[in-house]
Amino acid sequence: ISICRDLPNVEVITFSVNGISDLEPLHQCQNLTELYLRKNNITSLNELFYLKNLPRLRVLWLSENPCCGSDPHRYRMTVLRNLPSLQKLDNQAVTEEELSQALVDGEEITAPPARKSVENGCPESTESSAAESTSKTESELLSFSLEETNKIREELGMKPVPRDKFSSFSPQETDCNRKKRNNVLNAILLLTNELDTEGLEIIQQTVGRRLQASQKKEL
């Protein structure tokens, strides 16, 4: 997610299922309109502090993070009190009544969260990392990686990767390597939004040469 510090003009960010816990790199993305962070490791709603000054943010998907807690109403009201410009939260439209109620039931966030010693990455032993090692989560991560890969290939005018070929190597990788690959894929997708036609053509040519070389090796 640190790549976002260098992408002030990015408009849409998809970082679901990526082990993210820190939203600080997003505070400079002034053109951000849509942010998808489902199923990460965001533990505190104080992370919303970094999103409060994003004037164009209209869509946020934050569900299935630890910060959502056990009280859905309090969670939703707190998010809407601090981000009143949202039009959709967790794939549910925001109403005027909710925005008014949020001023009463929501908690105002005035400071960023206190940082712990463990940063984003691959913790050695946590409950979340243990949960991510389950077959269900592996399948979700694989689907997410495949989807992002094919989005990038579509941007480059290339054919999508069939799931059977993609899954032949993904399940054997460690959780850490999988997360790193996801982050690289996301970074590439974000960077393509910053490029003009000439830049995209250069990437297409480079990827084409890499694919040809890879296919020759396989043969």
Q: Looking at mean pLDDT, say which of 1-15, 33-47, 202-216 comes out highest.
A: 33-47
What does the DSSP 8-state code read for residue 24? Answer: G
Name which residue leads in pLDDT, 112 or 176: 112
Residue with structure tokens 């084409």? 208
What confidence score (pLDDT) does residue 85 get?
Answer: 94
What percentage of the chain reaches a pLDDT higher than 70?
Answer: 63
CA distance 183 to 168: 20
CA distance 76 to 60: 11
CB of 13 closer than 8 Å to CB of 32: yes
CA distance 2 to 10: 13
Length of the chain: 219
Average pLDDT over residues 106-135: 59
φ/ψ of 13, rounded to 5, equals -125, 130
Closest C-alpha among 29, 22, 90 to residue 55: 29
What does the DSSP 8-state code read for residue 207? Answer: H
Indicate whether 137 pLDDT > 50: no
End-to-end Cα separation, the chain, in angstroms:
37
- Report CA 66 to chain centroid distance, whole Å: 15
What confidence score (pLDDT) does residue 211 get?
Answer: 77
Contacts 24+ apart (CB under 8 A), 160-167: 166/142, 167/142
Indicate whether 120 pLDDT > 50: no
- Report CA 64 to chain centroid distance, whole Å: 13
CA distance 60 to 32: 10
Indicate whether 11 pLDDT > 70: yes
pTM: 0.56
Domains and CATH numbers, the chain: 2-105 (3.80.10.10), 180-216 (no CATH)
SS3 state of residue 109: coil
Q: pLDDT digit string (tens) for 152-209?
A: 667 666 667 666 554 434 344 445 556 666 666 666 776 776 677 877 778 788 887 8
Confidence class for position 77, pLDDT limits 50, 70, 90: very high
CA distance 62 to 50: 14
Q: pLDDT digit string (tens) for 55-69?
A: 999 999 999 999 999
Radius of gyration of the chain (CA): 19
